[in-house]
């Protein structure tokens, strides 16, 4: 039988199938962080069950961590308690922790791939919906709830029904200034936020084949924003090259053996998907969101649609936007480049390249937050730090930062923030904060102009701002 | 976990689409290390004004409505995987959420906490909203054993789907951990013989 990439990885991890019920799926790697694990550890202790495979778990602290003065104790008592609890739990159960101060610490979905923990053909889970990021490697990776975290602790397995399969093809060549973030925002705007519910997505076509690993991670990261449990891309030379030489990647002969296996991980010609969509790369433009879910996106020079619907109108009211309006030229006081969607070195190279020799607008607070200690080091080693600082951007220490209002980095009520993060939900970046999702390129262009700007149509934008 | 067989109650309508888990429980309340008490902050930013007073126009503060069934708009529970959302709904006292669509992770989290997500057709959802808004005293009956939902005193039933295994768990009050642990030998065999990754 012809199999899809998803089938191949899933089927090879099925321990057992229950008649008329779910399957027992084996999990290769379990990533944990401070927010969604404490209740799972407590559950285990209550039942007096040991952690079954501590060697297959990797922990980091990311959601709660401050991005300033990380060498000092965390000021917020509840945050500090949660991070300390993670440290204690990891010690007690023999789990590797890259906590604050460790050179590998970072956002869980940035840290694991850059260490080579994420490898093709694996099953990976984490109590975080953006675990879908790791699908960029041809991995079945998905977010789970805390009860499931406890299940994986207890058995290294999960009880699951196999999701349906969809394929999203994008062919052709992307236009100048169109980044992977625009590709996924475009797809979600076209398909809607629940189009993927019950499905696992595979991204196929030359756009993804030609994309860097960082770009593929950005795309897969946002699969959850269209409701899909995860998204994946078949591993290829780009993938093997990325994994090679990483801290936990196989070496020498072992690596070659793995590559031979990884090469079999692609959808067979003629394999059937439950749903399939095809888009043309030339139709994709830089995107911005105008509403309160990631599906509410338009091309940067587009207009907010004129829909008559209670939820839609409630959303515009929260954002302070009108139907039919364009966002180009809107004054913006906050810009955030970071989050598990866009905080990898490539994102900062693109940002720095644009910023070089320019100054941020006086009205803008522009925050640059690397995804991990390793990315922070790269920023420094490659001289990007100077570029950011000379242009007036604030470079912080790694963490989830202003993606979600769980640490000190919050956007004030009523303010707009052009953000490279993944969610523009009400209050996501702080109570009353208004988030506009965009690529790192639109984010820096906006920071420089002080208004929402298209990076390569500067004159047009300057005219609008006057 | 408590057994769930049938449930009858009045219902609270919340006709908003795409309600994400950040609205159900905002991130700033996720710093607790146990499961209790999240109900206090359920729908926090919709339920309370900035000064902490209750927002009179929000459905949970509307004295006409009460009960342990929440009827919500399409695509309920999208966004973050935080199980705290399910804990908050359950801690508030809700037993059933009715919508025309549920996000996957939320659905799993709800079921793992004895909270039943009942997916109905968009047409039937409209009928339920209309019935409850028209008469807040309307009672709704959810029968898990026979997998249907109905307005009490109505002949019209709407069937709903549920995974057979999850249904068994809810009817008996079981959970997955016990089941998985009972399969440890099989899991160890898998690790030895079949596992493609080392």
Instruction: Please report residues of B whose CB lies closer than 8 A to that of A311.
Output: 16-18, 73
Instruction: Please report residues of A whose CB lies closer than 8 A to that of B168.
Output: 21
Which pLDDT value is given to residue B196?
Answer: 59
Host H or E run for residue A126: strand A123-126
- The whole-number average pLDDT for the span A367-383 is 98
pLDDT tens digits, residue range B123-146? Answer: 999 999 999 999 999 999 999 999
Which pLDDT value is given to residue A458?
Answer: 52
The answer to whether residue A437 scores a pLDDT higher than 90 is: yes
pLDDT tens digits, residue range A299-324? Answer: 999 999 999 999 999 999 999 999 99
- The whole-number average pLDDT for the span A288-297 is 98
3-state secondary structure of A268: coil
Which residue among A43, A129, A194 sits closest to B75, beta carbon to beta carbon?
A194
Contact B47, B56 (CB under 8 A): no
Are the Cβ atoms of A155 and B23 closer than 8 angstroms? no
What b/e readout covers A78-117, taking b as 16+ CB neighbours within 10 angstroms?
bbebbbbbbeebbeebebebbbbeeebbbbbbbbbbbbbb
Question: Token pair of A337, please?
Answer: 């480049």
- The whole-number average pLDDT for the span A346-359 is 97
Which pLDDT value is given to residue A20?
Answer: 81
- The whole-number average pLDDT for the span A409-429 is 98
Are the Cβ atoms of B81 and A85 closer than 8 angstroms? no
- The whole-number average pLDDT for the span B95-118 is 97
Are the Cβ atoms of B16 and A314 closer than 8 angstroms? yes
- For helices A180-191 and A213-221, the axis angle rounded to 10 degrees is 30
pLDDT band at B175 (very low <50, low <70, confident <90, very high): confident
CA–CA separation, A84 and A72 (whole Å): 13
The answer to whether residue A439 scores a pLDDT higher than 50 is: yes
Contact A447, A338 (CB under 8 A): no
The region of weakest confidence among A443-447, A459-463, B69-73, B192-196 is A459-463
Instruction: Please report residues of B whose CB lies closer than 8 A to that of A229.
Output: 104-105
The answer to whether residue A425 scores a pLDDT higher than 60 is: yes
Q: Which 3-state string (H, E, C) describes A164-232?
A: EEEEEEEECCCCCCCCHHHHHHHHHHHHCCCCCCCEEEEEECHHHHCCCHHHHHHHHHHHHHHCCCEEE
Looking up tokens 């730090």 gives: A385
Are the Cβ atoms of A261 and B105 closer than 8 angstroms? no
Instruction: Please report residues of A whose CB lies closer than 8 A to that of B175.
Output: 147
Looking at the complex, report in whole angstroms how far the Cα of residue B153 sits from the nearest Cα belonging to chain A: 30
Which pLDDT value is given to residue A461?
Answer: 46
Average pLDDT, chain A: 96
- The whole-number average pLDDT for the span B44-53 is 95
Looking at the complex, report in whole angstroms how far the Cα of residue A204 sits from the nearest Cα belonging to chain B: 23
Which residues have C-beta within 8 Å of that of residue A50, sequence separation ≥ 6?
A44, A93
CA–CA separation, B2 and B112 (whole Å): 11
Question: Token pair of A283, please?
Answer: 């139709």
Q: What percent of chain A has pLDDT over 70?
A: 98
Looking at the complex, report in whole angstroms how far the Cα of residue B172 sits from the nearest Cα belonging to chain A: 16
The answer to whether residue A295 scores a pLDDT higher than 80 is: yes
Q: What is the DSSP pairing of strand A29-32 with strand A57-60?
A: parallel
Instruction: Please report residues of B whose CB lies closer than 8 A to that of A155.
Output: 177, 180-181, 183-184, 187
Are the Cβ atoms of B33 and A144 closer than 8 angstroms? no
pLDDT tens digits, residue range A388-398? Answer: 999 999 999 99
Looking at the complex, report in whole angstroms how far the Cα of residue B53 sits from the nearest Cα belonging to chain A: 16
Contact B79, B105 (CB under 8 A): no
- The whole-number average pLDDT for the span A75-85 is 96
CA A279, A285, A291 angle in degrees (round to 5)? 95
Q: How many CB pairs under 8 A join A and B?
A: 188
pLDDT tens digits, residue range A215-256? Answer: 999 999 999 999 999 999 999 999 999 999 999 999 999 999
Give me the phi and psi of B122, to 5 degrees please. Answer: -55, -35
Which pLDDT value is given to residue B198?
Answer: 45
Which residue among A21, A163, A197 sits closest to B101, beta carbon to beta carbon?
A197
pLDDT tens digits, residue range A10-51? Answer: 999 999 998 888 999 999 999 999 999 999 999 999 999 999
Across the strands, what pairs with A303? A326
- The whole-number average pLDDT for the span A132-160 is 98
Q: Which stretches of A235-373 are assigned E, i.e. beta strand?
A: 275-280, 287-289, 297-299, 334-337, 365-368
Instruction: Please report residues of B whose CB lies closer than 8 A to that of A143.
Output: 81, 105
Give me the phi and psi of A381, to 5 degrees please. Answer: -60, -35
Q: What is the ipTM of this complex?
A: 0.94
CA–CA separation, A178 and A441 (whole Å): 9
CA–CA separation, A248 and A229 (whole Å): 26
CA A445, A218, A439 angle in degrees (round to 5)? 10
Which pLDDT value is given to residue A459?
Answer: 47
Looking at the complex, report in whole angstroms how far the Cα of residue B151 sits from the nearest Cα belonging to chain A: 25
pLDDT band at A460 (very low <50, low <70, confident <90, very high): low
Q: Residue B54 CB: number of other CB atoms within 10 A?
A: 11
Are the Cβ atoms of B83 and A36 closer than 8 angstroms? yes
Are the Cβ atoms of A147 and B175 closer than 8 angstroms? yes
Are the Cβ atoms of B20 and A425 closer than 8 angstroms? yes
3-state secondary structure of A450: coil
pLDDT band at A188 (very low <50, low <70, confident <90, very high): very high
The answer to whether residue B181 scores a pLDDT higher than 90 is: yes
The answer to whether residue B10 scores a pLDDT higher than 60 is: yes
pLDDT tens digits, residue range B54-67? Answer: 999 999 999 999 99
On the CB side of A453, CA atoms within 13 Å amount to 28
Q: Which 3-state string (H, E, C) describes chain B?
A: CCCCCEEEEEEEEECCCCCEHHHHCCHHHCCCCCCCCHHHHCCHHHHECCCCCECCCCHHHCCCCCCCEEEECCCECECCCCCHHHHHHHHHCCCEEEECCECHHHHHHHHCCCCEEEECCHHHHHHHHHHHHHCCCCEEEEECCCCEEEECCCCCEEECCCCHHHHHHHHHCCCHHHHHHCCHHHHHHHHHHCCCCC
Q: What is the DSSP pairing of strand A157-160 with strand A23-26?
A: antiparallel
């Amino acid at each position: 039988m012809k199999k899809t990439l998803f089938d191949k990885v899933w089927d090879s991890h099925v321990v057992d199938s229950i008649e008329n019920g779910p399957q027992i799926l084996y999990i290769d790697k379990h990533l944990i962080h401070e927010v969604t694990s404490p209740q799972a550890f407590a559950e285990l202790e209550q039942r007096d069950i040991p952690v079954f495979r501590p060697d297959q778990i990797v922990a980091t602290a990311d959601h709660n961590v401050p991005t300033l003065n990380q060498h000092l104790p965390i000021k917020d008592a509840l945050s500090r308690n949660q991070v300390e609890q993670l440290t204690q739990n990891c010690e007690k159960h023999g789990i590797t922790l890259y906590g604050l101060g460790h050179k590998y610490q970072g956002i869980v979905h940035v840290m694991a791939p850059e260490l080579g923990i994420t490898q093709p053909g694996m099953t990976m889970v984490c109590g975080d919906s953006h675990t879908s990021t790791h699908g960029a490697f041809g991995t079945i990776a998905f977010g789970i709830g805390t009860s499931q975290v406890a299940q994986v602790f207890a058995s290294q397995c999960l009880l699951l029904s196999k999701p349906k399969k969809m394929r999203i093809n994008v062919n052709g060549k992307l236009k100048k200034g169109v980044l992977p973030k625009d590709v996924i925002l475009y797809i979600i705007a076209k398909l809607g936020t629940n189009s993927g519910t019950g499905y696992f997505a595979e991204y196929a076509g030359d756009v993804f084949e030609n994309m860097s690993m960082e770009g593929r991670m950005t795309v897969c990261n946002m699969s959850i924003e269209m409701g899909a449990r995860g998204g994946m891309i078949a591993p290829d030379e780009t993938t093997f090259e990325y994994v090679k030489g990483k801290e936990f990647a196989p070496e020498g002969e072992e690596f070659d053996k793995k590559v031979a296996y990884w090469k079999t991980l692609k959808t067979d010609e003629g394999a059937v998907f439950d749903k399939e969509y095809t888009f043309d790369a030339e139709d994709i433009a830089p995107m911005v969101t105008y509403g309160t879910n990631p599906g509410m996106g338009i091309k940067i020079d587009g207009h907010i649609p004129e829909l008559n619907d209670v939820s839609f109108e409630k959303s515009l009211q929260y954002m302070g936007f009108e139907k039919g309006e364009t966002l180009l030229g809107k004054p913006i006081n906050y810009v955030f480049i970071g989050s598990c969607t866009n905080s990898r070195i490539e994102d900062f190279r693109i940002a720095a390249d644009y910023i070089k020799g320019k100054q941020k607008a006086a009205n803008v607070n522009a925050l640059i937050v690397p995804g991990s200690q390793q990315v922070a080091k790269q920023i420094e080693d490659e001289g990007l730090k100077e570029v950011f600082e000379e242009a007036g951007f604030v470079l912080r220490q790694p963490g989830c930062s202003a993606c979600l209002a769980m640490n000190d980095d919050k956007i004030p009520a009523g303010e707009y923030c052009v953000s490279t993060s993944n969610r523009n939900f009400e209050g996501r970046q702080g109570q009353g904060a208004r988030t506009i999702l965009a690529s790192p390129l639109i984010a820096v262009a906006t920071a420089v102009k002080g208004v929402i700007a298209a990076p390569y149509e500067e004159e047009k934008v300057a005219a609008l701002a006057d | 976990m408590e057994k769930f067989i049938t449930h009858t109650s009045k219902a609270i309508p919340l006709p908003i689409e795409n309600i994400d888990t950040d609205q159900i429980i905002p991130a700033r309340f996720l710093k607790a290390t146990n499961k209790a008490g999240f109900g206090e902050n359920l729908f926090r930013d919709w339920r309370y004004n900035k000064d902490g007073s209750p927002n009179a126009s929000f459905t949970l503060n509307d004295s006409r409505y009460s009960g342990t069934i929440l009827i919500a708009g399409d695509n309920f529970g999208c966004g973050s995987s935080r199980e705290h959302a399910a804990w908050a709904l359950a801690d508030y006292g809700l037993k059933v959420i009715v919508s025309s669509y549920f996000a996957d992770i939320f659905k799993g989290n709800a079921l793992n906490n004895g909270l039943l997500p009942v997916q109905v057709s968009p047409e039937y959802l409209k009928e339920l909203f209309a019935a409850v808004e028209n008469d807040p005293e309307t009672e709704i009956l959810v029968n898990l054993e026979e997998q249907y939902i109905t307005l009490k005193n109505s002949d019209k039933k709407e069937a709903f789907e549920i995974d057979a295994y999850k249904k068994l768990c809810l009817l008996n009050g079981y959970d997955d951990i016990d089941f998985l642990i009972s399969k440890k030998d099989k899991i160890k065999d898998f690790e030895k013989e079949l596992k493609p990754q080392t």
